[in-house]
Chain A
């Protein structure tokens, strides 16, 4: 059981380039999330999804897009990368949004924009 898998683990982008961070989970979870982690700032929610075909903005969605065509996959797209998007990105999932449901995190994707 792999849990939440993110790729790539490390990436360097030039300003203005675009890329997609992949995330897949094999736990049949309905809810999926993307967070970014900046030093000393904790984690901020970028986007989340409560099921296939449904996505919604989190706290810091600007500069990002997501899609959820299947239950398993929740890719995060960066268009026109900016230095402010240098961060560690974590994908996460949970069975539902209700009480008792633990959120499981992937191992993170370290992104540097230069």
Chain B
């Protein structure tokens, strides 16, 4: 079964700092890739997704992610974070044509004003 690895579970940074969260997966075939965000007390919301095409994907709220197939990675970035970006971020992967998401353990991000 595929697995998804997210490192640095807790990230604390100041407003205007840049954010990069790593995501690596183990599945060898074609995959669909997602980043979800969970704000405190809320449900998961889709930030961005990659299915095919340009490996640099732009999502909502200024986030972007880059799919590097050779590294089995889908890292999330934001050049300048805001306090409102405080949330937990989950990377998720499904094999092509299969919507059974496998989630990473999440990154708890705290942005200090």
Contact = CB atoms under 8 A, between A and B. Distances in A.
B43 A108 contact: yes
Interface stretch (A14-22, A38-46, A64-72, A77-85): A38-46
A34 to B, nearest CB: 12
Given A40-B106, A42-B105, A102-B49, A90 B43 contact: yes
Question: What is the size category of the interface that chain B forms with chain A?
Answer: 20 to 34
Contacts of B32: 99
Nearest to A58: B100
B45 to A, nearest CB: 8
Given A102-B46, A105-B43, A105-B44, A97 B105 contact: no
Given A105-B43, A107-B42, A97 B97 contact: yes
Interface residues of A, number: 26
Interface string B69-97: 00000000000000000000010100011
Contacts of B9: 40
Contacts of A98: 97, 99
Contacts of B44: 43, 90, 105
Interface of B: 1, 4, 6, 9, 32, 34, 36, 42-46, 49, 51-52, 90, 92, 96-106
